[in-house]
Structure 1
Amino acid sequence: MAKNKFHDGPGPSQRQLRVGELIRRSLSEVLARGDVHDPDLNRLSITVGEVTTSPDLRIATAYVLPLGGTGQEDVLQLLARNKGELRRMIGKKVGLKFTPDLRFRIDETFDRLDETRRLFSQDDVRRDVEADDQDDT
């Protein structure tokens, strides 16, 4: 059974985090400025929430979300179609010896936040949380 790198063993290294953040900033900048030669992609406003890298830094997975959250599959297809150009642009900006292969996934963080807020707003959950807070004091 494969281990999930986020739940078993140590988390990502400082280098993985640093490279992921560099790629995230560069990708966000390229997408915001509309530097890609694809008018369909340039028409969209895309948020790059996080970029994770494999331990060997050969694969970078960008978690993205289109503004408003609609057209997610279209965004993934457009990004995949322009993956080579995006990789070249990021490689120039980041200056790594080897530019990772880019993968794109939908960022579900916002959906999980909404669900968490919904759960905490339920009367029975709020009552339990308040009871726990009183027990701690």
Structure 2
Amino acid sequence: MKKDHKPAGPSQRMLRVGELVRHALATLFARGDIEDEALAGAVITVPEVRMTPDLKIANAYVMPLGGTHADEIVAALNRHRKFIRGRVAPQIDLKFAPEIRFFVDETFEEAGRIDALLRSDRVRRDLDDDSDDTTED
């Protein structure tokens, strides 16, 4: 029998393993075990880790506190990803440790753009016009 639909999102296992990897990365970054000039003194948050369906690749989205030098920090993390993988592997207890790839987390920036748009005069004017239409009878 052929499946007619694909799952809408990640499986529970993908989410669970992604969260394990995220937690292990956050712990590693908090300890400051990675020696690289670009990472010196950087406080790095890991808002999300997305796993591929086969659990072989972990796409980790990171953002330094304040958002400064994000590209340099992601480049440094990608340079040290084999070392990071070796530190994360024992903490996640999988048969195979996933390859970890680092990306800049763009969600904070996107949220800022949406917030700025909602505060714009044009949107505010449209919202004010809508409130005039909903007067009581």
Q: TM-score normalised to the size of structure 2?
A: 0.83
Root-mean-square deviation (Å): 2.1
User: Whole-Å Cα distance in 1 between the matches of residues 72 and 91 of structure 2?
Assistant: 26
Counterpart of 2:109?
111
> 1:82 Cα shift?
1.1
Counterpart of 2:19?
21
SS of the aligned residue for 1:115 comes to helix
Q: Which runs of 5+ in 1 are unaligned?
A: 1-7
User: Whole-Å Cα distance in 1 between the matches of residues 122 and 109 of structure 2?
Assistant: 22
Runs of 4+ in 1 over 6 A off after TM superposition: none
Aligned length: 127
Amino acid in the other structure paired with 1:121: R
Counterpart of 1:49?
47
User: Whole-Å Cα distance in 2 between the matches of residues 129 and 53 of structure 1?
Assistant: 40
> 1:21 Cα shift?
0.8
Q: Does the Cα contact within 8 Å between 2:36 and 2:76 map onto a contact in 1? A: no
User: Whole-Å Cα distance in 2 between the matches of residues 81 and 58 of structure 1?
Assistant: 19
Q: 2:85 pairs with 87, 91, 107, which one?
A: 87
SS of the aligned residue for 2:123 comes to helix
Q: Does the Cα contact within 8 Å between 1:66 and 1:72 map onto a contact in 2? A: yes
Amino acid in the other structure paired with 1:43: G
Identity %: 44
User: Whole-Å Cα distance in 1 between the matches of residues 56 and 112 of structure 2?
Assistant: 33
Q: Which runs of 5+ in 2 are unaligned?
A: 1-5
Deviations 1:23-67 (A, max 9, x none): 01110110011123x142343111111000101000000001112
User: Whole-Å Cα distance in 2 between the matches of residues 16 and 108 of structure 1?
Assistant: 21
Amino acid in the other structure paired with 2:124: R
Q: 2:69 pairs with 65, 68, 71, which one?
A: 71
Deviations 1:94-134 (A, max 9, x none): 111111100011000000110011111123323444628x7
67-76 vs 105-114, which deviates more?
A: 67-76
Q: Larger C-alpha radius of gyration, 1 or 2?
A: 2
SS of the aligned residue for 2:66 comes to helix
